[in-house]
Amino acid sequence: MNTKIIALAVAGATLLGCSLPAFADAEHRARALEIIKRDFQPRGQAGIDRLETDGLQAICNRTGNNPPASIATQMQNDQLATVKYPAEGKLMGNWANGEKLAQSGRGFTWTDKPGLPVGGNCYNCHQISPKETSFGTIGPSLYQLGKLRGNTPEMQKYVYGKIWNAKAFNLCSDMPRFGHAGALTEDQVKDLVALLLDPESPVNK
């Protein structure tokens, strides 16, 4: 199903059923975006496209992260279809590399070359290693995830898919779509899976 068509349908249904304050809110949003686009100065890889919201995110924004169930199910399945699993079937890499990646907070800075993999910045939202004393709580604790849930092929596939595109499992998740967006490579995602599930990882000790 076309994401843009769904977004327009939901937006239209929302507007038809809302009161004047909701219209005013939409007008304020449109005006703010207009001003930002007018004053935005593209630099390096940071182009005007960064201000565009894709259809899926637009639906989540306009429905308070609670889109109609029928639409959410279809779009979540569409997102699941975008997850690219390794051709050779191996889903766990090197947990030590995964820890370095989890610690890195580097993003898509405008001075970087386009396509350069960035950091996972995992501790910004999750508790992971017992040695890390500072971590975010936006996401659930992942400490001892492998010890608690095991590292079966099914679990590895779930964790890999969740990191690649979190919206495939929770449509309006706040977690970045790391693989889908090209922020992390296939090998990097595998290293993060190992960090979380490998019995030898300090996360599971």
How distant, in Å, are the alpha carbons of 1, 109, 117, 200 from that of 105? 35, 11, 12, 24
Q: Domain ranges for the chain, please list them.
A: 3-80, 95-204
Of the CA atoms within 13 Å of residue 58, those in its CB half-sphere come to 19
The pLDDT of residue 13: 38
The pLDDT of residue 18: 35
Pick the CATH number of 95-204 from 3.40.50.800, 1.10.760.10, 3.40.50.1000, 3.40.50.720: 1.10.760.10
The pLDDT of residue 14: 38
pTM for the complete prediction? 0.80
**Positions of E strands within the chain:** none
By the 10 Å C-beta count (0-12 exposed, 13-18 middle, 19+ buried), 138 is classed as exposed
Structure tokens, 15: 């507007």
**Tens-digit pLDDT profile for residues 158-200:** 999 999 999 999 999 999 999 998 889 999 999 999 999 999 9
The pLDDT of residue 184: 93
The CA radius of gyration of the chain, in Å to the nearest whole number, is 19
The pLDDT of residue 36: 86
**Amino acid at position 54, single letter:** D
Spans of the chain, pLDDT less than 70: 1-24
The pLDDT of residue 26: 73
The pLDDT of residue 24: 53
CB 143 within 8 A of CB 127: yes
Nearest alpha carbon to residue 184 among 100, 125, 61:
100
**DSSP per-residue string spanning 47-64:** -GGGGPPPHHHHHHHHTT
